[in-house]
Amino acid sequence: MTVSDLKQQLHSYREAAESMRDILLANVVMIGEIPAPTCYEDQRVQFIQNRFSECGLQNCSADEVGNGFGILNGSVGERNLLLVAHADTIFSDKVDHTISLLSDRIMGPGVGDNSLGVAVLASLPLLLERLDIQLKSNLILMAGARSLGSGNLEGLRFFLHNNKQPIAGALCVEGVKLGRLSYSSIGMLRGEISVRVPEMYDWSRFGASGAIITLNDIINKITRIPLPKRPKTSIVLGTIEGGNSFNNIATHSLLRFEIRSESAEVVHDILAEIRDRITETELESSAEIALDILARREPGGIDFRHPLVRQARDVLKALHIEPRVAPSTSELAELIRHDIPAITLGLTTGKKHMQQVEEVDIEPIFQGIAQLLGVLVAMDEGLCDEH
Amino acid sequence: MNIDQWLRENTFHYSSFWDFRHLVEAKEAQGLKISLCIPTLNEERTIGKEIVIFRSELMSRYPFLDEIAVIDSGSTDNTREVAASFGADVYLAEDILPEVGSKRGKGENLWKAIYQLQGDIIVYVDADIKNIHPRFAYGLVAPLVYRPEIKYVKAFYDRPLAFSQGIRPSGGGRVTEILVRPLFSLFFPELTAIIQPLSGEYAVRRDVLEAIPFPIGYGVETSHLIDVYSKWGMQAFGQTDLDQRVHRNQATRDLGKMSFGILQTFLNRTKALGLVPELPELNNIMRQFQVKDGHFEQIEHHIVEEERPPMLDIEAYRQKFK
């Protein structure tokens, strides 16, 4: 198949995806209504495995960390391609997981991140069958467990560490946002700073002010850390919690933060700075302050001119999708670490990302699926290989 | 048939019908057509999801349902547009059999569905179910496919969250336990075996639906049970445990109005069956009270349980189906 043959096919891919509208949307709803907080994805993964089994996929299984797999055997079977979507969400099982479906959009917790991605994964075998596409390569479909937050990509990490079959290329699927084209990973470090005031604390001591004020001191010090413009670097203060009530001085507080940089060295340096600030504050306040590192990513990736990125850009262009190039800190980073050519693609537009009433638009999904199929077929045809 | 035997033989759990391929084969071997009817009134938030789930799982993946229809009472939101956009056949109740006129009530939609839909079996599912799942349709229809002597299958919902001992109570909602079950215990003891007589989900064969009258309001479920029991006996019933139904809870005041309607239907049935002597003329105003500016005042609800005749009495129906 040539590049121009492939472009001709994109329209039929979109039509086939649209013809499966009810199956696809039902998968989004049913998957989205199964709570899957990180480390507790088993019911959602079981559902996906059942879907794979119904389609006659081989080796439908879950591994010991909870990843779900289905394998579509290729006609030649010499190469293996991996399609991965993380199965976990940031929402606890206490949250109402009801999904609402209107004519033009789907709403509910985690619907874009990443119920839609997983639903497309679950629908893909049927879609390929309808299009009469038999890939030459084996296609490993993976619903990844323990991906987000403190999960730290454990599912994919485990798979790549223990997998015996070489992976020729991989696609990471995210619900939002259509046009997303990530081919590189930035350096990242995720940490938690917890402040605890001992029960027998001497409140008459100078500076005795409770865990919230102490954490506030640390935050002020962190925000004064100078950040370079190049390589691009940022510190994100993500969540903060602490205390028990209006009228009691807080005895505990917690800050979750993330350092991001194009340079691993800068991430390392900033972490050292934060450690110094914590030690300084600890000495001033005598509160117990702990720093836990929960996740790390190394920067890296394939080149903008890599055939996989070029093919993906061409497919997006042929479908009139505006590419949004942005580095990733998710599954892609782990694939890059294992020298597997990989990109991340988004499927549709949406809003209120990571909020309980997250919304995704229905119509662009079919364009997103056509794009995914286009890139997958290009990979299978060897159009994305470096020569 | 005693109650214990009926409970043992005619009570099912939806999970026992997990083999869809086998179910579809059995349906096709009998040449059965199955219609799903969803009566609606302003359900735009939930209707799309219901249709997509049923279409995907019981039409596209497995050809079990032949028809998915929404019979709408005149929604003022986008219920009909949403339903149509996801591929349901959408009808306005007043457009069906216009020569018999139009009445407001869920029972009216259920009754008109018998004329409009094609199925040998019609399964009715409410539109306000938050945890919609294909079991709400196949769990109710499957006993009719596998057991020719069963004509009418009711849903019930029984999922204990945690229970440590061997015995626990099971039953229906407030109106069932306070009104309907005591009445059934007095007049139709066998019908007490139906665990949730007021559940809005049931699957019925056409030859039963066309032969029974339909109260158009609150009494439709109660009257069905009494009429089917009187004509075909307890063996015509089945019931399926669908685990859990998440829906809006009704206020006690609304349940009072519902009970008033059910009582009207019930008393009329007992009179028609000769179970009670002549009844005095019944009032059709339900009174409730509220306090306004320190004074009690009454609120009057005019509730008349009108009834549609058996569909077989309608000329247009006989022409279409007979």
Q: Which domain holds residue A279?
A: 187-297
B57 interaction partners in chain A (CB closer than 8 Å):
26
- Put simply, the answer to whether A100 touches B49 (Cβ < 8 Å) is yes
Residue B154 lies in a domain: yes
- Put simply, the answer to whether B53 touches A27 (Cβ < 8 Å) is no
Region label for B252, one of left (φ > 0), alpha (ψ between -120 and 50) or beta (otherwise): alpha
Write the single-letter amino acid at B188: F
Share of chain B above pLDDT 70, in %: 95
Q: Which domain holds residue B176?
A: 3-268+301-321
Residue A386 lies in a domain: no
Provide the 10 A C-beta neighbour count for residue A153: 25
Smallest Cα–Cα separation from A261: which of A286, A291, A232, A230? A232
Find residues 8-27 of chain A whose CB sits inside 8 Å of chain B: 20, 22-23, 25-27
pLDDT at res. A308: 96
Q: Is residue B316 classed as helix, strand or coil in its secondary structure?
A: helix
**Residues constituting chain B:** 322
A48 plus A163 within the same structural domain: yes
The single residue listed with the structure tokens 């009258």 is B213
Q: Which of A26, A33, A103 is closest, CB to CB, to B57?
A: A26
B56 interaction partners in chain A (CB closer than 8 Å):
22-23, 25-27
Spell out the alpha helix ranges (H) of chain B.
Answer: 3-10, 20-29, 47-55, 79-85, 106-116, 135-146, 174-175, 181-187, 206-209, 220-232, 252-272, 315-321
Q: Is the pLDDT of residue B161 over 50?
A: no
Smallest Cα–Cα separation from B38: which of B3, B76, B5, B87? B87
- Average pLDDT over all residues of chain A: 92
Residue B146 lies in a domain: yes
Average pLDDT over residues B48-75: 96
Smallest Cα–Cα separation from B175: which of B286, B265, B258? B258
Average pLDDT over residues A148-156: 92
- Put simply, the answer to whether A22 touches B56 (Cβ < 8 Å) is yes
B45 interaction partners in chain A (CB closer than 8 Å):
100, 102
Q: Is residue B222 classed as helix, strand or coil in its secondary structure?
A: helix
A251 plus A164 within the same structural domain: no
Residue A387 lies in a domain: no
CA-derived radius of gyration, chain A: 23
Q: Is residue A350 classed as helix, strand or coil in its secondary structure?
A: strand
Give A376's contacts (C-beta < 8 A, 6+ positions apart).
A81, A83, A135, A139, A171
Q: Which of B45, B55, B131 is closest, CB to CB, to A22?
A: B55
CA-nearest residue of chain B to A25? Answer: B52
- Average pLDDT over all residues of chain B: 92
Residue B204 lies in a domain: yes
The single residue listed with the structure tokens 């093919």 is A311
| Residue of A28, A103, A111, A115 to mutate for B, most B C-beta atoms under 10 A | A103
To 5 degrees, how large is the angle CA B268–CA B274–CA B279?
50
For B138-149, the pLDDT digits (tens) are 999 999 999 999
Whole-number Å distance between alpha carbons of B10 and B191? 13
Q: Which of A22, A98, A100 is closest, CB to CB, to B86?
A: A22
> Across-strand partners of B308?
B214
CATH number assigned to the domain comprising residue A370: 3.40.630.10
Residue B34's Cβ-count burial label (10 Å; 0-12, 13-18, 19+) is buried
A101 interaction partners in chain B (CB closer than 8 Å):
48-49, 52, 86
Q: Is the pLDDT of residue B131 over 90?
A: no
Around A229, how many Cα atoms within 13 Å sit in the side-chain half-sphere?
0
Residue B293 lies in a domain: no
Tokens matching residue A125: 């075998």
Q: Which of B60, B78, B130 is closest, CB to CB, to A23?
A: B60
A171 plus A139 within the same structural domain: yes
- Put simply, the answer to whether B52 touches A98 (Cβ < 8 Å) is no
- Put simply, the answer to whether B44 touches A102 (Cβ < 8 Å) is yes
Tokens matching residue B161: 């969250």
Smallest Cα–Cα separation from B310: which of B209, B236, B218? B209
- Put simply, the answer to whether A33 touches B53 (Cβ < 8 Å) is no
> Across-strand partners of B237?
B152
Residue B44 lies in a domain: yes
Q: Which of B57, B130, B133 is closest, CB to CB, to A98?
A: B130
- Put simply, the answer to whether B59 touches A33 (Cβ < 8 Å) is no
Residue B286 lies in a domain: no
Q: Is residue A294 classed as helix, strand or coil in its secondary structure?
A: strand
Tokens matching residue A321: 């999708």
Residue A263 lies in a domain: yes
Domains of chain B: total: 1
A312 plus A285 within the same structural domain: no
Whole-number Å distance between alpha carbons of B188 and A115? 49
Shortest CA gap B44–chain A (Å):
7
| Residue of B42, B43, B44, B49 to mutate for A, most A C-beta atoms under 10 A | B49
Shortest CA gap B134–chain A (Å):
10
Distance of CA A363 to the CA centre of its chain: 23
For B220-279, the pLDDT digits (tens) are 999 999 999 999 999 999 999 998 887 667 788 889 999 999 999 999 999 999 998 888
A26 interaction partners in chain B (CB closer than 8 Å):
52-53, 55-57
| CA trace torsion B74, B77, B79, B80 (10° rounding) | 60
Per DSSP, which regions of chain A are E strands?
58-62, 68-72, 80-86, 100-101, 105-107, 138-144, 169-176, 180-182, 184-185, 187-196, 233-242, 252-261, 288-297, 300-301, 324-325, 342-348, 350-351, 359-361
Tokens matching residue B125: 């599912």
CA-nearest residue of chain A to B52? Answer: A22
In the structure, what pLDDT confidence band is assigned to residue B165 with cuts at 50, 70 and 90? low
Whole-number Å distance between alpha carbons of A186 and B128? 46
The single residue listed with the structure tokens 């696809």 is A24
Contact criterion met (CB below 8 Å) for A305 and A377:
no
Residue A179 lies in a domain: yes
pLDDT at res. B1: 66
Kind and range of the H or E element at B33? none
A10 plus A146 within the same structural domain: yes
For A357-375, the pLDDT digits (tens) are 899 999 999 999 999 999 9
Domain boundary among A251, A267, A297: A297
Contact criterion met (CB below 8 Å) for A342 and A160:
no
For A194-233, the pLDDT digits (tens) are 999 876 666 555 445 789 999 999 999 999 999 999 999 9
CA-nearest residue of chain A to B60? Answer: A23
Tokens matching residue A383: 């159009």
To 5 degrees, how large is the angle CA B160–CA B162–CA B167?
70
Write the single-letter amino acid at B283: N
A116 interaction partners in chain B (CB closer than 8 Å):
none
Q: Which of B59, B85, B131 is closest, CB to CB, to A103?
A: B85
The single residue listed with the structure tokens 């626990």 is B168
Q: Is the pLDDT of residue B159 over 90?
A: no
Residue B73 lies in a domain: yes
The single residue listed with the structure tokens 């789930």 is B53
What is the DSSP code (8-state) at residue B39?
Answer: E
Shortest CA gap B257–chain A (Å):
29
CA-nearest residue of chain A to B128? Answer: A100
Tokens matching residue A199: 């029960």
A30 interaction partners in chain B (CB closer than 8 Å):
53, 133
Kind and range of the H or E element at B249? none
Contact criterion met (CB below 8 Å) for A379 and A81:
yes
The single residue listed with the structure tokens 């109570």 is B169
- Put simply, the answer to whether B49 touches A99 (Cβ < 8 Å) is yes
> What's phi and psi for B68, nearest 5 deg?
-120, 115
**Residues constituting chain A:** 387
CA-nearest residue of chain B to A97? Answer: B131
pLDDT at res. B54: 97
pLDDT at res. B169: 60
Residue B299's Cβ-count burial label (10 Å; 0-12, 13-18, 19+) is exposed
Using H for helix, E for strand and C for coil, what is the string for A64-125?
Answer: CCCCEEEEECCCCCCCEEEEEEECCECCCCCCCCCCEECCCEEECCCHHHHHHHHHHHHHHH
> What's phi and psi for B64, nearest 5 deg?
-100, -45
Domains of chain A: total: 2
B46 interaction partners in chain A (CB closer than 8 Å):
100
Q: Which of A26, A33, A54 is closest, CB to CB, to B52?
A: A26
Whole-number Å distance between alpha carbons of A84 and A105? 24
| Residue of A29, A33, A357 to mutate for B, most B C-beta atoms under 10 A | A29
A249 plus A320 within the same structural domain: no
Residue A78's Cβ-count burial label (10 Å; 0-12, 13-18, 19+) is exposed
Tokens matching residue B295: 């004074």
Whole-number Å distance between alpha carbons of A344 and B28? 45
Contact criterion met (CB below 8 Å) for A67 and A45:
yes
Q: Is A247 on the interface with B (CB under 8 A)?
A: no
For A275-296, the pLDDT digits (tens) are 999 999 998 887 899 999 999 8
CATH number assigned to the domain comprising residue A279: 3.30.70.360
A290 plus A212 within the same structural domain: yes
- Put simply, the answer to whether A103 touches B55 (Cβ < 8 Å) is no
Q: Which of A27, A54, A101 is closest, CB to CB, to B48?
A: A101
For B63-104, the pLDDT digits (tens) are 999 999 999 999 999 999 999 999 999 999 999 999 999 998
A138 plus A205 within the same structural domain: no
For A159-200, the pLDDT digits (tens) are 999 999 899 999 999 999 999 999 999 899 999 999 998 766
Residue A62 lies in a domain: yes
B53 interaction partners in chain A (CB closer than 8 Å):
26, 29-30
Domain boundary among A254, A276, A297: A297
CATH number assigned to the domain comprising residue B40: 3.90.550.10
- Put simply, the answer to whether A23 touches B61 (Cβ < 8 Å) is yes
Please report, for residues A24, A60, A67, A158, A376, the alpha-carbon distance to residue A168 in angstroms, rounded to integers and kept in the order given. Answer: 28, 21, 20, 18, 12
Shortest CA gap A102–chain B (Å):
6
The single residue listed with the structure tokens 């229970």 is B163
Domain boundary among A297, A330, A358: A297
For A297-308, the pLDDT digits (tens) are 989 899 999 999
The single residue listed with the structure tokens 């600890």 is A282
A230 plus A203 within the same structural domain: yes
A317 plus A293 within the same structural domain: no
Whole-number Å distance between alpha carbons of B166 and B243? 18
Residue B291 lies in a domain: no
